[in-house]
């Protein structure tokens, strides 16, 4: 099984920072005009000295590698710059929003890996029977549907028509919460639809992986031994087989995080859920480039951190990975 | 003369597909649907002119005889928009998958053949591409490049060449060990000869499958990006229609969503599923049961 080395994380982080650094510099037009003039407005004329002064102020007169060095130095201090539109610190805005996103991503990750593995194991036991064939087809088809489209269907049918779930938002505004419990209930009620929508995206992958992994394990000798010992069927399946089939499934968690975050960005916009994805769309609509870049960097860092965490847990679970 | 084998190999693929019965029932349905979408796209461009842009009725009409799927808030026929959207989606899917497939496999062949630092560099970028959060990066690139169909295709290509590159490299690496390649090399075959005569014909089937998967991925990505408002509002794709209808203020409290939201959504889902059915059948056909997308 492939586990990502530390070098890998640094490489990705460097790539993200480099993209963030060079994109605005590759843009046509003057960076300092782009900061101060709205699209379509007539730019005020500046004298040569003024431009030189502004360039010195923003550090644009330095050579490119010095600017890059300064940029990284600023990032290390947690300075992501100021939002062009909202005029507040980008980092603060993102820190307010990112817990929402992480919450739904983690919930969906847990649900999809749990149910995917469970259904995969069941399917492997019922191999080649109609139930297995049907489930396989259903899962493959289901996982292909883009999750935000599914979300729109849920939004209109379950929330707008049947009114089982709230239409939008992360919490009922101005609702008096007498106890912690009602507060939590309200949170979950709002998060339910986004999580339900995000889950199928990963479910199919986990299902197929679990099914394949179980089929390999079930053909091993020690399963025959267990059968010969007269163990019960569920004991063999869940105690002997599933345990050995788990490592590749856990490893898949690394790779599915990226697509889950991507799905979350879209789904948050379907349900107007107050996470980072919705902020990103707002930033896109307002052409707030600094904010867009900040979100991209933060999402990448969060993803890498979660990857790293999963890596650590994986090594604890499966000592064979130690190299 | 040199390209004879390559041409033969390309010619063999439609031959294999000529027998329609190799497809499963789902594959056939998928094939018919994709064909239908291509046809409607062509018809809409050739014969319907500007019907997807110009109002032809009152705003927000319910489905009826003149407007089978009703009209949107500007009074533009929704069916005409859907038909035109098929053209946009297939255009995006086809061009980005082709570019990513050809570019990616070229890089993969280079990486597999040259080895050394070329290999390390290309595979390093591939690894980064696999881990980087794709959609946020697409949004960043899309926001900076500006909304246009060409830029969306470009962004999708940048983010999806890594998979065909990986596949091509793995295949070339294993081919290099085989006797006929070693023999060809010992006769003094250069890179161009090997690539045209052996590598490309060898990887063509698996790359084809991966290109079909990329088409579906590109269509999904385009829909997602335009849904977020990063699309070109003048090229009415299904994502643009969705974006417009969802953001219409009364949409939750009226029945308009039943045709305005659901029709682009349904065709989008059907198209993505159809392509994935075809890809599955092709996979079985070329005996490539490797990892899936």
pLDDT at site B101:
94
Check if B284 contacts A (Cβ < 8 Å). no
Percent of chain B with pLDDT over 70: 90
Chain A residues closer than 8 Å to B217 by CB: none
Report yes or no on B84 lying in a domain: yes
Chain A contact for B121 (CB, 8 A cutoff): no
Nearest to A284 among B127, B139, B269 (CB): B139
Report d(CA B26, CA B280) in Å as an integer: 10
Q: State the average pLDDT for chain B.
A: 83
Residue with the bigger pLDDT between A124 and B23: it is: A124
Which of A145, A255, A270 has its CB closest to that of B269? Answer: A145
Question: Does residue A170 contact residue A98 with C-beta atoms inside 8 Å?
Answer: no
* Whether B128 and A12 lie within 8 Å, measured CB to CB: yes
In a domain, B115, yes or no: yes
Is B127 near chain A, with CB under 8 Å?
yes
Q: What is the ipTM of this complex?
A: 0.81
Q: Which is nearest to A105 in space by CA: A266, A242, A288, A245?
A: A266
Gap between the Cα atoms of A321 and A314, Å rounded: 8
| pLDDT value of position A1 | 36
In this complex, the residue of A15, A266, A270 whose CB is nearest that of residue B128 is A15
- For residue A144, list chain B residues with Cβ-Cβ distance below 8 A: 216, 272-273, 276
- CA-wise closest residue to B169 among B210, B114, B96: B114
Q: Do B269 and A146 touch (CB under 8 A)?
A: yes
DSSP, residue by residue, A66-91? HHHHHHHHHHHTT---B-TTT-SBHH
Nearest to A265 among B135, B220, B242 (CB): B135
Which residues touch B119 (CB under 8 Å, ≥6 apart)? Answer: B111, B112, B169
Question: Of B221, B218, B268, which is closest to residue B242 (Cα–Cα)?
Answer: B268
Chain A residues close to B246, C-beta within 8 Å: 152, 270
Q: How far is B45 from chain A (nearest CA, A)?
A: 26
CB contact under 8 A, B230 and A149: no
Lowest mean pLDDT, pick from A159-168, B109-118, B196-205: A159-168
Contact B159, B217 (CB under 8 A): no
Question: Do the chains contact at A148 and B133, CB–CB below 8 Å?
Answer: no
User: How confident is the model at residue A321, as a pLDDT?
Assistant: 57
Q: Tokens for A29?
A: 């037009």
* Averaged pLDDT, B221-250: 84
Task: Name the band, by pLDDT with cuts 50, 70 and 90, for residue B261.
Answer: confident
Interchain CB contact of B270 with A (< 8 Å): no
Dist. CA A239–CA B149, nearest whole Å: 53
Whether B272 sits inside 8 A of A304 (CB atoms) is no
- Return the structure tokens found at B262: 């659901």
User: Which residues of chain B have a CB within 8 Å of the CB of A252?
Assistant: none
CATH number, domain of B241, equals 1.10.3720.10
Write out chain B in H/E/C secondary structure: CCCHHHHHHHHHHHHHHHCHHHCCHHHHHHHHHHHHHHHHHHHHHHHCCCCCCCCCCCCCCCCCCCCCCCECCCCCEHHHHHHHHHHHHHHHHHHHHHHHHHHHHHHHHHHHHHCHHHHHHHHHHHHHHHHCCHHHHHHHHHHHHCCCHHHHHHHHHHHHCHHHHHHHHHHHHHHHCCHHHHHHHHCCCCHHHHHHHHHHHHHHHHHHHHHHHHHHHHHHHHHHHHHCCCCCCCCCCHHHHHHHHHCCCCCCCCCCHHHHCHHHHHHHHHHHHHHHHHHHHHHHHCCCCCCCC
Tokens of A43: 């730019």
% of residues, chain B, pLDDT over 90 = 16
- Check residue B96 and give its pLDDT: 94
B271 CA to chain A: closest CA distance, Å? Answer: 10
| Predicted pLDDT of residue A320 | 66
Please state, as a whole number, how many other Cβ atoms lie within 10 Å of the Cβ of residue A133.
Answer: 13
Q: Among B24, B140, B289, which would you mutate to test the A interface (most chain A Cβ atoms within 10 Å of its Cβ)?
A: B140
Binned at pLDDT 50, 70 and 90, residue B291 comes out as very low
Report residues of chain A scoring pLDDT below 70.
1-6, 27-47, 175, 318-323
Nearest CB to A258; choose among B134, B252, B262: B134
Residue bearing the bigger pLDDT, A169 or B79 = B79
User: Candidates 3.40.50.300, 3.30.70.100, 3.40.630.20, 1.10.3720.10; correct CATH number of A90-322?
Assistant: 1.10.3720.10
Flag whether residue B227 sits within 8 Å of chain A, measured between CB atoms. Answer: yes
Q: How many structural domains compose chain B?
A: 1
Is there a contact between B136 and A255 if contact means CB atoms under 8 Å apart? Answer: no
- DSSP letter, residue A60: T
Nearest residue on chain A to B245, alpha-carbon basis: A152
Is there a contact between A53 and A46 (Cβ–Cβ < 8 Å)? Answer: no
Mean pLDDT calculated for residue range B95-116: 92
CB contact under 8 A, A140 and B276: yes
pLDDT of residue A308: 81
User: Is A258 in contact with B132 (Cβ distance < 8 A)?
Assistant: yes
Out of B136, B141, B227, closest to residue A280 by CB: B136
Chain B residue closest to A149 (CA)?
B265
Residue B293 domain-assigned (yes or no): no
Cα dist from B11 to A61, B7, B280, whole Å:
58, 6, 21
Residue B191: both structure tokens together = 């890179």
pLDDT at A34: 53
Domain housing B73: 4-288
Task: Determine the Cα–Cα distance for residues B22 and B28; give it in Å rounded to an integer.
Answer: 9
Length reported for chain A: 323
For chain A, the structural domain boundaries read 2-76, 90-322
Dist. CA A103–CA A191, nearest whole Å: 9
Q: Which two tokens stand for residue B78?
A: 């929704």
pLDDT at B20 exceeding the cut of 70: no
B39-68: per-residue pLDDT in tens? 888 888 888 777 777 777 777 777 777 777
In chain A, what is the straight-line distance between the N-terminal and C-terminal CA atoms, in Å? 11
Set of chain A residues whose Cβ sits within 8 Å of the Cβ of B276: 140-141, 144
Phi (first) and psi of residue A212, to 5 degrees: -60, -45
Of B124, B134, B253, the CB nearest to A11: B124
Specify whether the backbone of A45 is left (phi greater than 0), alpha (psi in -120 to 50) or beta.
beta
- Predicted local distance difference test score (pLDDT) of residue B105: 93
| Pairwise CA distance, residues A321 & A63, whole Å | 45
Which residue, chain included where needed, has tokens 């843009």?
A: A27
Which DSSP symbol is given to A219?
T
Q: Is the full-model pTM beyond 0.90? A: no
Q: DSSP letter string over A259-323?
A: HHHHHHHHHHHHHT--SHHHHHHHHHHTT-HHHHHHHHHHHHHHHHHHHHHHHHHHHHH-GGG--
pLDDT tier at B256 (50, 70, 90 boundaries)?
Answer: confident
Residue B290 is predicted with a pLDDT of 42
Q: How confident is the model at residue A79, as a pLDDT?
A: 81
Q: Give me the count of residues in chain B.
A: 293
Tokens of B9: 């190999």
pLDDT beyond 90 at B215: yes
Look at residue A85 in the predicted model and tell me its pLDDT: 78
In angstroms, the CA B48 to CA A74 distance is 55
């Amino acid at each position: 099984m492939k586990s990502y080395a530390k070098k890998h994380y640094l490489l990705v982080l460097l790539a993200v920072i480099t993209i963030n650094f060079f994109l605005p510099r590759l843009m046509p037009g003057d960076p300092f005009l782009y900061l101060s003039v709205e699209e379509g407005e007539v730019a005020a004329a500046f004298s040569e000295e003024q431009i030189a002064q502004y360039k010195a102020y923003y550090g644009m007169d330095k050579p490119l590698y010095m600017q890059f060095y300064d940029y990284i130095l600023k990032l290390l201090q947690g300075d992501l710059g100021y939002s062009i539109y909202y005029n507040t610190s980008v980092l603060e805005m993102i820190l307010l929003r990112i817990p929402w996103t992480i919450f739904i991503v983690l919930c969906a990750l847990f649900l999809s890996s749990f149910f995917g593995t469970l259904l995969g194991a069941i399917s492997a036991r019922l191999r080649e029977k109609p139930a297995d064939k049907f489930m396989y087809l259903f899962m493959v088809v289901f996982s292909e549907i883009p999750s935000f489209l599914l979300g729109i269907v849920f939004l209109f049918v379950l929330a707008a028509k049947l009114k089982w779930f709230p239409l939008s938002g992360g919490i009922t505004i101005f609702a008096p919460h007498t106890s912690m419990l009602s507060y939590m209930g309200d949170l979950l009620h709002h998060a339910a639809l986004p999580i339900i929508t995000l889950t199928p995206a990963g479910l199919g992958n986990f299902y197929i992986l679990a099914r394949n992994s179980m089929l390999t394990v079930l053909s091993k000798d020690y399963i025959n031994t267990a059968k010969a010992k007269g163990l019960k069927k569920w004991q063999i399946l869940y105690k002997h087989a599933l345990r050995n089939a788990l490592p590749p499934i856990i490893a898949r968690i690394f790779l599915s995080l990226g697509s889950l975050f991507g799905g979350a960005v879209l789904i948050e916009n379907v349900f107007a859920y107050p996470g980072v994805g919705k902020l990103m769309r707002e930033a896109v609509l307002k052409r707030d480039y600094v904010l867009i870049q900040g979100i991209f960097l933060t999402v990448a860092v969060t993803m890498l951190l979660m990857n790293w965490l999963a890596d650590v847990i994986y090594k604890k679970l499966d000592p064979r990975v130690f190299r | 003369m040199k390209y004879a084998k390559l041409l033969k190999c390309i010619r063999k693929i439609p031959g294999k597909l000529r027998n329609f019965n190799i497809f499963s029932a789902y594959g056939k349905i998928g094939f018919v649907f994709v064909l239908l979408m291509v046809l409607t796209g062509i018809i809409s461009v050739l014969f319907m002119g500007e019907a997807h842009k110009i109002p032809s009725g009152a705003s927000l009409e319910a489905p009826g005889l003149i407007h089978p799927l009703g009209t949107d808030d500007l009074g533009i026929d929704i069916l005409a928009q859907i038909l035109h959207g098929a053209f946009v989606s297939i255009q995006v899917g086809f061009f980005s998958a082709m570019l990513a497939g050809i570019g990616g496999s070229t890089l993969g062949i280079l990486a597999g053949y040259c080895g050394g630092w070329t290999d390390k560099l290309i595979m390093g970028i591939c690894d980064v591409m696999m881990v980087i959060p794709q959609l946020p990066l697409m949004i960043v690139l899309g926001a900076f490049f500006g909304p246009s169909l060409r830029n969306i295709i470009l962004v999708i290509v940048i983010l999806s060449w890594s998979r065909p590159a990986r596949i091509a490299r793995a295949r070339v690496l294993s081919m290099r060990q085989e006797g006929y390649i070693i023999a060809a090399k010992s006769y003094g075959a250069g890179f161009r000869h090997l690539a045209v005569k052996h590598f490309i014909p060898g990887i063509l089937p698996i790359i084809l499958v991966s290109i079909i998967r990329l088409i579906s991925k590109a269509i999904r990505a385009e829909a997602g990006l335009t849904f977020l408002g990063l699309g070109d509002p003048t090229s009415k794709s299904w994502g643009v229609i969705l974006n417009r209808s969802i953001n219409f203020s009364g949409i939750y409290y009226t029945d308009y969503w039943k045709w305005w939201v659901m029709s682009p959504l349904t065709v989008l889902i059907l198209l993505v599923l159809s392509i994935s059915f075809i890809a599955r059948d092709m996979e079985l056909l070329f005996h490539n049961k490797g990892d899936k997308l």
